[in-house]
Structure 1
């Protein structure tokens, strides 16, 4: 749920936008990416079931710092620990197309 601002998401092959108060459904097992399409801050409340993914959100900043921005290192650790597959090529394409960053670079 978007608590403030506006959020964009690619769910499968579709790009959707959500304003404050709206929700975006991202089915488990379907490739997705979420980003802030604007310069203004955005806040979201993300609900993931079943639980267990909260550790990923706490771990990501540490992994990014430890990896020295190497996308492959971060992706490999997340895939091993959480069973999540990162599509680094698609992520880079989204970042370039929409003018956003993820905090990691592919080398």
Structure 2
């Protein structure tokens, strides 16, 4: 009985080969995109998970807008001083500068 089901399914697949290819290609693309999104998100959420106060740790990101927008982690020394002096909720600050 199951043998006839497989035979009829294969017969239908070969009879409508264009739609079969389109469906299988779409399914493969959807699975690939889903896996890429999952791996990207798990990579992004894996940073700084070793801290004891990871729910209270933040990283300030600075956008520099010149001819094109440049995103950089960290910031200037002036931003570091302003955050540590003017925001009373901040307990501790650390300066993080990336040389490019």
Length-normalised TM-score, structure 2: 0.25
Higher RCO (CA 8 Å, separation ≥ 6 residues): 1
Higher helix share: 2
Length-normalised TM-score, structure 1: 0.24
